[in-house]
Chain A
Amino acid sequence: MLKAAQPDRPDALTWVFLGLGLLLLPVGLYLALSAPPDVNQGYLARIMYLHVPGAWLGYLAFFVTFLYSLLYLFRQNPRYDRVALASAEIGLVFMGLALVTGMLWARPTWGVYWTWEPRLTTTAILFAVYVGYFLLRGAIEDPELRAKAAAAVGILGFINVPISYMSVKWWRSLHQTQSIDLTTGKIHMDPAMLQALLFNLFVFTLLYLGFVRFRALLAALEARKEEA
């Protein structure tokens, strides 16, 4: 609780992540736009370079929330609660991006914006849980109780991430299975497309790291103001 030095501006590492991420973002865009079109989908497949990083960051951010929620429950350090909050917020934004880009992609390829198939349904549940996370945070006034309740949701809610990821394998879905399959290590993608996708995943991850550090700092400043 009583940390001696509380910074009131972002540290160098935060600026490096943010700066590098923003600098490389146009490069990622260039790669995405110059990657070859898909033989079946044509240029439509390029939504992938936004859709996949969005979903990946959602998963990653909720994982970080899960970790810091656990840490908070063990250590009771409000700093961990603030990182969990920051990460959940960013995760929600990027998961929302994945949902929106997915809908825009689904209409011309599948024929509908939305259908209640397993991947979409489990992702909708995942999204709703983290909306609930913020409603819960808003509902509780006592900071300590708020952090504990939020940590519980942050831990339990994460179970949806592996379910959402595996849903295309466990159940019959309309959504295609993973093109970069982490469970088998197989990659079903043209090398030029893969490079563009991996680069964008990298850039988005840099931005996430910058965002989460920046947001956690803002939360710390808010908390200090609340105490004073």
Chain B
Amino acid sequence: MRAKYLVGLLVILGALAYLIFGGLGQNLVYFLTPSEYLQDQARYQNRPVRLGGLVKEGTVRYDKDQLELRFILTDGVAEVPVVHKGTPPGMFKEGQGVVVEGRFQEGIFRGTNLLVKHSETYQAPKAGWTPEEVRKLIEEAK
């Protein structure tokens, strides 16, 4: 056995063990839905959780001066008000799937990280897209 490779091998085995037993265990349930959270609140008390769901239509309020984003996250059953400090990511919009990392405080979910979940569908813009229309599309996506 050559020593330097053995060290590398141990590092890799350690990393794998961490990924499988530490990382993956936590991440098999990557996010909770609002209704799952509300059913079992005691369990997630004071723990950072990820909530996943859709941004409810018509509930997005963004305060540009405070950089404060408020919206209601829903899974169709339960709804959770979310407050997130910071600018919304590019693809954030109403009806979009999102995952919010954060904690509950006094009935409001305070997000520290906001991730946008996009779908597996890829569609071209409706008929006859011109470069100008595409540019507008991209501007809007920002």
Contact = CB atoms under 8 A, between A and B. Distances in A.
B122 to A, nearest CB: 5
Contacts of B38: none
A188 B137 CA distance: 21
B120 interface: yes
B115 A176 contact: no
A56 to B, nearest CB: 15
Interface string B17-32: 0011001101111110
B49 interface: no
Given A108-B90, A125-B20, A40 B9 contact: no
Contacts of B2: 138-141
A139 B30 contact: no
Interface residues of A, number: 46
B141 A41 contact: yes
Given A116-B23, A139-B1, A139-B9, A179 B30 contact: no
Interface string A6-46: 00000000000000000000000000000011111111010
Interface string A165-203: 000000111101111000000001110110000000000
Interface string B97-133: 0010000000000000111111111111110010000
Nearest to B133: A37
Contact of B26 (A41, A108, A116): A116
A104 B89 CA distance: 14
B13 interface: yes
Contacts of B77: none
Contacts of B12: 128-129, 131-132, 135
B114 A40 contact: no
Given A128-B19, A132-B13, A110 B27 contact: no
A121 B27 contact: yes
A112 B120 CA distance: 18
A174 B125 CA distance: 24
A118 interface: yes
Nearest to B131: A37
A40 B29 CA distance: 27
A37 B90 contact: no
A48 interface: yes
Interface in A92-143: 108-112, 115-118, 121-122, 124-125, 128-129, 131-132, 135-136, 138-141
A129 B13 CA distance: 8
7 contacts: A41-B118, A111-B115, A128-B16, A171-B29, A174-B117, A176-B120, A188-B119
Give the 6 A-B residue pairs with the shortest CB-CB distance, closest first: A36-B124, A139-B5, A111-B89, A138-B5, A176-B120, A42-B138
